[in-house]
């Protein structure tokens, strides 16, 4: 089964996500404010229309020896581009140091929420994780710089 982020967001409920978001937020004194912001982001995403995308969402486990009880997940968009095929300054300063035959891992932080919603979830990610984990990790990633989806101040 293939599913887009939008399809998963449409079937999850806030009450199933709240505890997972609470574990990710490090500021206890503002926890209620953060949780409300993530709840509102989820509601906004449920109302948005997805755009088609040639990327898929992929999870990568990061080995964190400091915390054995917590699996750290990085979330990327991938579309088949290989590191070795990158050119210009991107290659000179970044991609030349990465495994050449691996796909480029694009950050989702500055990709429009509509496009992220239209991305399919990678088959391995979809098979390994529950829908609520996928949704929490994806929302955490796409809201990293903006809980509203407005990135104008960062351009």
Q: What is the pLDDT of residue 151?
A: 43
Whole-prediction pTM: 0.83
Share of the chain above pLDDT 70, in %: 80
**DSSP string for the chain:** ---BHHHHHHH--HHHHHHHHHHH---GGGHHHHHHHHHHHHHHHHHSPP---S-EEEEEEE--TT-TT--EEEEEEE-S-BGGG--HHHHHHTGGGS-TTSBP-B-STTS-HHHHHHPEEPHHHHHHS-HHHHHHHHHHHHTSS-SSS--GGG-
User: Tens-of-pLDDT digits for all 155 residues of the chain?
Assistant: 689 999 999 999 999 999 888 887 766 777 888 889 999 999 999 999 999 999 999 998 887 656 556 678 889 999 988 877 877 656 566 656 777 788 888 899 889 999 999 999 999 999 999 999 999 999 999 988 766 555 443 33
Give per-residue pLDDT as tens, 26-53.
667 778 888 899 999 999 999 999 999 9
Tell me how many domains the chain contains.
1
User: Residue 95 sits in which domain range?
Assistant: 5-154
């Amino acid at each position: 089964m293939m599913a887009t982020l939008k399809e998963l967001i449409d079937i999850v409920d806030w009450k199933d996500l709240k505890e997972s978001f609470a574990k990710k937020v490090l500021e206890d004194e503002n926890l209620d404010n953060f949780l409300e912001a993530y709840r509102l982001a989820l509601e906004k995403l449920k109302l948005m229309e997805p755009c088609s995308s040639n990327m898929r969402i992929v999870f990568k486990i990061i080995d964190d020896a400091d915390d054995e009880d917590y699996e750290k997940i990085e979330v990327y968009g991938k579309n088949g581009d290989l590191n070795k095929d990158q050119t210009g300054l991107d290659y000179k300063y970044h991609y030349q140091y990465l495994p050449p035959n691996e796909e480029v891992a694009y950050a989702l932080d500055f990709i429009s929420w509509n496009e992220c919603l239209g991305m399919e979830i990678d088959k391995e990610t979809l098979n390994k994780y529950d829908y609520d984990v996928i949704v929490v990790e994806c929302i955490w990633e796409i809201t990293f710089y903006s809980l509203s989806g407005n990135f104008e101040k960062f351009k």
